[in-house]
Structure 1
Amino acid sequence: MSTKDWIEKDYYKILGVPEDADAATVKKAYRTLARELHPDHNKDDQEAEARFKDVSEAYSVLSDPQKRKEYDEARTMFGGGMRSPGGDGAGGSFSFDLGDLFGSSGGTGGLGDVFGGLFNQRARTRTGSARRGADVEREVSVSFTEAVEGKTIPLKLTSSSACASCAGTGARAGTVPRVCPTCVGTGFTSTDSGGFGMAEPCQDCKGRGMVVDDPCPVCAGSGRGTTSRVMHVRIPAGVVDGQRIRLRGKGVPGEHGGPAGDLYVVIHVGSHPVFGRRGEHLTVTVPVTFPEVALGAEIKVPTLGSGPVTLRIPQGTPTGRTFRVRGRGATRKDGSRGDLLVTVEVAVPESVPPDARQALEQYRDAASGDDVRAALMNTAAKER
């Protein structure tokens, strides 16, 4: 609210009391109007809500002796709030900007600068009392397959919300809180320190902008209760262990019209007995026989979530070699899939049947001229 509006408003008329009304009369008029106009009793009535704000603003000024004195002096200085018979309505008001009287209505040197210290910036609206809800973090565990394919899981959240008994006002049913006289409903107080303005939450109302004289017995005047709700959270395909997912506005609801906080979901992914993970690719180790890698073969390889695929092993494949099966890995952000990386390892049997032993001995004798360690021994000898 501008300084011009602060001067022109007739707080006595808003409360319906004479200008010489004592503090008790002002308080009684405020309580009567506040009960009548409170938003809880006038759902979706914007006119009643606007009048309730005006009544609260008028009481915050007239209930404070110092502010009331400053307000009366300002009205006297400007002839009762710049009223003139030539304006609109009964008494009317001038249509020119008050700042024109002092040179500038916009920038420095205007009316706001002349009277800024006098009114101590109490004329601004009470948006400072709106609070953003707190952020919430929850941990969930999913299986290896669920992390690769994605899944929607139910998540139970317990958080604070407006008290059902007092509708979030913090006041006992049938009563209403009053505007904090210290911060005039802003929720903040300011101090001047060497030319710098310092703002901090009001200590009297704890930053809420309102003071509760008769607290609600259910929430002890906090205006907050506890509610439980179940959310269905979509775990996107391709998440990795430890990933943190942010869901905007799904945290604790805000206060006084403030936005809700965010929900952070931390993912823990379980292991798989067959497959591993390397970024967007899946890994698997497949045992093969010596004849398969020596002579070449076609083998069956398992995949995650579908049937096996056929992999061709070239002749002379060494153990430990990795092959790539395209499109059988984890899901990427764009919906495509990574690859399946297949590593072959020669399986050595613990025991050999007689017929197989005889065949192996024949192979050993036939290949006895090939020293597979000759190159290794020669290199080691040169390095001595």
Structure 2
Amino acid sequence: MSLDIDYYELLEVERTADEKTLKTAYRRLAMECHPDRNPGCDKSEAKFKAINEAYDVLKDPQKRAAYDRFGKAAFENGGMGNGGARGGAGFGDFSDIFESFFGDAFGGGRQRGPVRGADLRYDLEISLEDAFHGRTTEIAIDVAAKCGDCEGTGAKPGTSTRRCNLCGGHGKVRAQQGFFVVERTCPTCHGRGEVIEDPCRKCGGEGRVDERQKIEVTIPPGVDEGTRIRVAGKGEAGPNGAPAGDLYIFMHIARHKVFERDGTTLFCRAPISFTKAALGGEIEIPGPDGSKHSVNIPEGIQSGKQLRVRGAGMPVLQGRGRGDLVIQIDVETPTRLTARQKELLCEFRETETGEECPQSRGFFDKVKEFWDDLTE
């Protein structure tokens, strides 16, 4: 140990500090005590190493639990303190014992070798037109990337690591629980068998540094709300030079001024005048690709009627063909009439027989029968 001080006191945090608080405190202190900022100061260099040592323990849930229970004795001479198991931290639950004995046989054991970096999520909003055509765009993300100075090893360039004293370089330790002797990954070296003696100054022994990266993303035609695009190897860098995770981009389609979407089908509402509804005619509806579709309005069409244009909807994602464009007709009653228009409508009303609007006539016939029944 570089400094015989409680790890929490060393990092200047409470014992209940969460992961974010620990990380913030570590970065602040590491910057203050960094050898580059304190050249020739042995005390600062020793504190810098001690801070890294403390953070390495407290950021790991298993090692932190062992430290909270037994202090530094948990990592010295292969002991855990009174009542603890030799050679490592205690058991979380019986599943650890089961996995240690039967995991490899049944394919469910703990992962061997380097631990892959974490996957990342990015939410990207695009227009309906971009979803129709597809596009290539550039996004910027903040990610823990592999340190360029130490190539992800965490060791200062030009220095070497030393064999882990806890596991003897095996990367595994044995712990006894009653009649069981269980082999687990070493909590000090995390299975590497080696310990960093002189941490990299740029990353503080983490092997990773936070940086902003720009990534080019190809969006295929036909993506929909919630479509997930995987960009391999663009997630967080793995610890100790392990492979990076993946980046998952979740697509969100911005609301459109004309269309609503359901899969590959596009919907739009088309208000038409009551004269066009009565006499019929044509309307022109745009497509998401800028094309124009002439739609025939049959005579006497009613509100709510849907007209379909085949193959004028969204493309099938990673497939062939397109969905349909569905136009819902809304017959609009005029609200601003000139005197002449009112006069013509009055003349039309005088000629009505009831046969022009059979649904209306049928409804009021039923209403009349209802009143007649009540008066009998």
Q: Compute the TM-score of the two structures, normalised by the length of structure 1.
A: 0.60
Indicate conservation of the 8 Å contact 1:205/1:211, yes or no.
yes
Q: Deviations over 1:46-82 (max 9, x none)?
A: xxxxxxxxxxxxxxxxxxx99xxxxxxxxxxxxxxxx
What is the SS of the residue equivalent to 2:295? strand
Indicate conservation of the 8 Å contact 1:169/1:176, yes or no.
no
Query: How far 1:312 moved relative to its partner?
Result: 1.0
Query: How far 1:326 moved relative to its partner?
Result: 1.0
The 10-residue stretch of structure 1 (329-338 or 224-233) with the greater mean CA deviation from structure 2: 224-233
1:239 to 197, 208, 223: 223
Query: How far 1:305 moved relative to its partner?
Result: 1.8
Indicate conservation of the 8 Å contact 1:289/1:348, yes or no.
yes
Aligned partner of 2:360 in structure 1 is: 373
Aligned partner of 1:24 in structure 2 is: none
- Structure 1's 335 and 369: CA in aligned 2 closer, same or farther, altered over 3 A? closer
Indicate conservation of the 8 Å contact 1:158/1:226, yes or no.
yes
Structure 2 regions of 5+ residues with no counterpart?
1-76, 79-110
Structure 2 residue identity aligned to 1:360: L
Aligned partner of 2:300 in structure 1 is: 316
Aligned partner of 1:226 in structure 2 is: 210
Structure 2 residue identity aligned to 1:365: E
Indicate conservation of the 8 Å contact 2:285/2:294, yes or no.
yes
Aligned partner of 2:243 in structure 1 is: 259
Return the alpha-carbon distance in structure 2 between the equivalents of residues 160 and 173 of structure 1: 20
1:156 to 131, 140, 146: 140
- Structure 1's 257 and 204: CA in aligned 2 closer, same or farther, altered over 3 A? closer
- Structure 1's 259 and 176: CA in aligned 2 closer, same or farther, altered over 3 A? same
Indicate conservation of the 8 Å contact 1:150/1:237, yes or no.
yes
Q: How many residues align?
A: 260
- Structure 1's 176 and 248: CA in aligned 2 closer, same or farther, altered over 3 A? same
Aligned partner of 1:35 in structure 2 is: none
Return the alpha-carbon distance in structure 2 between the equivalents of residues 185 and 204 of structure 1: 11
Query: How far 1:205 moved relative to its partner?
Result: 2.1
After TM superposition, list the pairs within 5 Å mapping 1:201-350 onto structure 2: 201-255=185-239, 258-333=242-317, 334-350=319-335
After TM superposition, list the pairs within 5 Å mapping 1:1-384 onto structure 2: 128-193=112-177, 198-255=182-239, 258-333=242-317, 334-370=319-355, 372-379=359-366
Q: Give the number of the structure whose alpha-carbon radius of gyration is greater.
A: 1
Q: Compute the TM-score of the two structures, normalised by the length of structure 2.
A: 0.61
- Structure 1's 195 and 263: CA in aligned 2 closer, same or farther, altered over 3 A? farther
Q: Deviations over 1:99-122 (max 9, x none)?
A: xxxxxxxxxxxxxxxxxxxxxxxx
Return the alpha-carbon distance in structure 2 between the equivalents of residues 270 and 197 of structure 1: 58
- Structure 1's 196 and 344: CA in aligned 2 closer, same or farther, altered over 3 A? farther
- Structure 1's 257 and 163: CA in aligned 2 closer, same or farther, altered over 3 A? closer
Indicate conservation of the 8 Å contact 2:153/2:240, yes or no.
no
